């Protein structure tokens, strides 16, 4: 039997899918699939508490799916290149959320992180 893709222990794959098995985390991945976003933008779009978003991001990060970059007081999250092939496959299945990113720019209580 020939397998072309990298193998991982079942424990690692289960860990990844467990992290992916949550609507909010899938939503976050969709949002940052095209552009990095800071936590306040993510919470603003999804409408979840800052603490909750932070904890979901921590799970995505510890599973190696996203990475963070600090700039001033903001921390920007983006997809981790190492997991990109997998994430791309997942994102293909998910509905487009670009309209949510558009709306972010025009909403009145828009976060100030990218002004």
Residues 31-90 that bind a copy of itself (CB under 8 A): 86, 89-90
Q: Which of 73, 92, 106, 108 binds DNA (CB under 7 A)?
A: 73
Instruction: Take residue 30 and report the two structure tokens written for it.
Output: 């969709």
DSSP E strand stretches across 53-104: 66-71, 74-79
Which of these, 63, 94, 93, 60, lies nearest to 77 by C-alpha position?
Answer: 60
Beta-bridged to residue 68, according to DSSP, are 77
63 in contact with DNA (CB under 7 A): no
CB of 83 to DNA, least distance (A): 18
Question: Which residue lies nearer to a copy of itself by CB, 15 or 75?
Answer: 15
**Nearest distance, CB of residue 25 and a copy of itself, angstroms:** 8
Question: Strand ranges (DSSP E) for the chain?
Answer: 37-38, 66-71, 74-79
What's the closest the beta carbon of residue 36 comes to a copy of itself, in angstroms?
18
70 binds DNA (CB under 7 A): yes
């Amino acid at each position: 039997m020939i397998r072309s893709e990298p193998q991982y222990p079942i424990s690692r794959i289960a860990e990844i899918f467990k992290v992916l098995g949550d609507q909010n985390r899938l939503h976050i991945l969709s949002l940052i699939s095209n552009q990095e976003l800071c936590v306040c933008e993510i919470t603003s779009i999804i409408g979840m508490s800052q603490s909750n978003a932070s904890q979901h991001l921590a799970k995505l990060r510890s599973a190696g799916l996203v990475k963070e970059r600090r700039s001033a007081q903001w921390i920007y999250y983006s997809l981790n290149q190492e997991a990109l092939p997998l994430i791309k496959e997942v994102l293909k299945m998910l509905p487009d959320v670009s309209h949510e990113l558009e709306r972010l720019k025009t909403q009145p209580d828009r976060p100030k992180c990218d002004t």
